[in-house]
Structure 1
Amino acid sequence: MNNAIVTGATGFIGTRLCEQLLAAGWRVSATVRKSSKVERLEELGVGLVPCDLASDGLPAETLRDTTAVFHLAGLTTSANLARLRAVNAAGTRRLAESIRDSGQSPTVVHVSSIAASGPAAKGQVRTADDEPHPISNYGRSKLEGEQAMAAIADEMPISIVRPSVVFGPGDREGFRIVKPIARSGMHFTPGWRTPPLSVIYVDDLAAILIAAADSGKRITKRFAEQPVGEGIYIAALDRHPSYDDWGRMIGQTLDKKTRVMRIPPRAAKVVGWCAGAMGSGSLHLDKIREAQVPSWAYYDNRLQTELGFTPSAPLEDQLAKTVQWYREQGWLKPAKSA
């Protein structure tokens, strides 16, 4: 039987990954902190490993007979570079060193972000072969995390997955976009630009992570100096709706006429600065900066050619499943009867 350790398992993506691993017959353990909400993991039968990567690596005994480590733990809701580095870079380095020092050699699937690579130029579709140039503190910290993991790449097999915008059942951040559209038909866009997006459904991302562990190519230690190419997978569909179009697609799913409400760039930056100063979730200046770029269009056919990935359903159907989940949870009102 395959044995997995998942960090960040209590999060939106991590929980879905645990569900898919268990469905595929894996035995799954998850690192948890004292503050972690573990009820769902306990329901699933996931083993719990007390471990806070802010101060500790994985216990060596936990890694015995481990087939794969899926590293999803990270900080997203901050614009402070020091705080981001402490978790996304130093925490990853601590994890990597503990795996190396354990004497075991599990496959490591490190979950990063396309923010580590940076935005595309207008009309460009970026791939894993393009040199990274992150523009946000979050992106910089995620790239440093990749490089920290690459330091042990000659000692164990490591693949890196850079997800695009992840949506699906359980997505609280995505609900921030859905909620005003459902209530008033308004889709708020920061700035005048409406950049093309890259998106991936959460269950498809989980399938990509498992496939990367099973059959993905691996990075080499050289990645630390040149973070491009083999062993990197861009988790994104070959379809790039603009941010405006994304709101309209959500509106169509909700059967709600949608109006795009543009927030002038200076006003958006003020909102982002104030939100960051108040510690308000992901609506901070770093995210406003990422929203005001020409494009986030990404695609790389390595998903198909190396991992055998195909989307589980059309994008519109995946959005419909997401909205239905919000309704089932009571986050949205039930759909009106015909």
Structure 2
Amino acid sequence: MSTREVKTLYVDAGEDGVRLDRWFRRRWPHLTQIQIQKLARSGQIRVDGARAKADSRLSAGSQVRVPPLPDAPDPSEKKAISSRDAAYAKSLVLYEDEEVLVLNKPAGLAVQGGTKTTQHVDRLLSAWGEGLERPRLVHRLDRDTSGVLVLGKTPGAAAKLSGAFARRKAQKTYWALVVGNPTPQDGWIDAPLAKKGINDREMVVPVDPKDPKAEPAETEYVTVSRAGPRLSWVALRPHTGRTHQLRAHMLAIGHPMLGDPKYKNEKSAELSEGLQLQLHARRLVIPHPSAGMIVVEAPLSKEMKEGFRRFGFDEHEADPEPFGRKPRGGKGRR
């Protein structure tokens, strides 16, 4: 689908809180992130008559000005994925019905492509077909994070799932191995984050709430088990969805994750020898687009299994719902 004229579209109720760039990608998947950012920067995309950034959050009922867009490539020109890649994609399925697809994303596989990334989840979705048959991404995982990734198999289902994430109705539980023993054992990290250029690379760092680039970021954590004073296995629940939020927050409180080449300190580098990032999207509880709830768990990745083996942790020690015992951090949210 493409357009050669200016249109005004309305944000669906199920899309409340969705980022502007994702809203566009859902409707015109052939658009690149760079194209959307350029259209936003030049003022060609407007929300309720005003300029908006590509990462702006939309509100239900808002009017989006859609400028003339480049045509989608001819489907016949699109290179089909191989039968081997299609079989690989299907092997990642944790749950599937007519509206929802849940994959167990392996560590090292990007969710979307980039300049130097040709193999990614978005490409593998061709295994389910193109056009309306193609599942739609509704959230992201970092390239090196393994675990539960949910997608919508229809535009309506994708909108409702995205809305659940935006309204904090999705309960995500991550497992991570971190340096030291967090004190208190269970806690709430409320530290706004912003992207900053640090030593020729971009990182997400805690900033003053008054910083113009600050985005609210909240993470709940529970200590599941300890390997003496050196190391802890923690369960993490993000209550916001910022880029690299969990990794940046754990570094900020002095307990960076093992195997993280970016958000690290001297101690984590020392303990991480031979390990990949020890972060796994273990469990997701989210309202089904039609009725009821979806509860899905992803088995440990081989990268996490190596970390557990090295430090003597047993995955069966964990409570499937470690955050349900009592309110923390004075927030009282469930």
Same fold, judged at TM 0.5 (above): no
Larger radius of gyration: 2
Greater percentage in strand: 2
Considering Cα pairs closer than 8 Å and 6+ residues apart, tell me whether 1 or 2 has the greater RCO. 1
Greater percentage in helix: 1
TM-score by length of 2: 0.25
